[in-house]
Amino acid sequence: MEPYECIDLVNMENVATITFKDKRIMDPAKIEQMGKELLSLVESHPSEKLIVNFENVRFFSSAAINKLLVLEKRVRAQGGSLRLSNLRPEVRDLFSYTKLDSVFTIEDESSPSF
């Protein structure tokens, strides 16, 4: 498996869980790199269930959101599914303020995983 600079990947029972290495995710070059890695990951794991685990994420900019939107579109086009999990309250605010919680499936703590 190719090593990623910005993300970590754990595969378990047909579910790929992505975590971010950078807690802040704000450097533009890193955001570009993260976007590329997310897409390459989808290409190598088509039709899989993907979970983006936000537990390490303390900040997420609008540029980073754009990368996540591209990922969501690609996953949907390939017939896979994408969920976001373990969002801090303030990161969850970001998705509600932007109404992107209607585009992404966001796992609340109480809701079961796959």
Partner 1 sequence: MNSSGNSESSIDDESRDEPVEGWSVDQYIASVPDNCARFMEPFLDELARRGWSGRDEFGIRMAMEEAIMNAIDHGNRRDPSKTVHIVIRLTSARFFAKITDQGDGFDPLKLPDPTLEENLENSRGRGVMLIKRFVDSATYNQKGNSVELRKVRSRI
Q: Give contact residues for partner 1 (rule: CB under 8 A).
A: 24, 26-29, 58-59, 61-63, 65-66, 69, 73, 88-91, 93-94, 97-100, 102-103
Residue placing its CB nearer to partner 1 in the complex, 79 or 97:
97
Q: How far is the CB of 25 from partner 1 (least distance, A)?
A: 10
The two three-digit tokens of residue 16, written as one number: 């790929």
Q: What are phi and psi of 62, to 5 degrees?
A: -65, -30
Q: How far is the CB of 8 from partner 1 (least distance, A)?
A: 21
Residue placing its CB nearer to partner 1 in the complex, 17 or 105:
105
Task: Choose among 38, 86, 47: nearest CA to 65.
Answer: 38
Residue placing its CB nearer to partner 1 in the complex, 21 or 58:
58
Cα separations in angstroms, 25 against 3, 30, 73, 77, 100: 18, 7, 21, 26, 18
85 membership: H or E segment, kind and range = strand 81-85
Residue placing its CB nearer to partner 1 in the complex, 16 or 68:
68
Q: How far is the CB of 69 from partner 1 (least distance, A)?
A: 6
Task: Choose among 70, 92, 97: nearest CA to 82.
Answer: 70
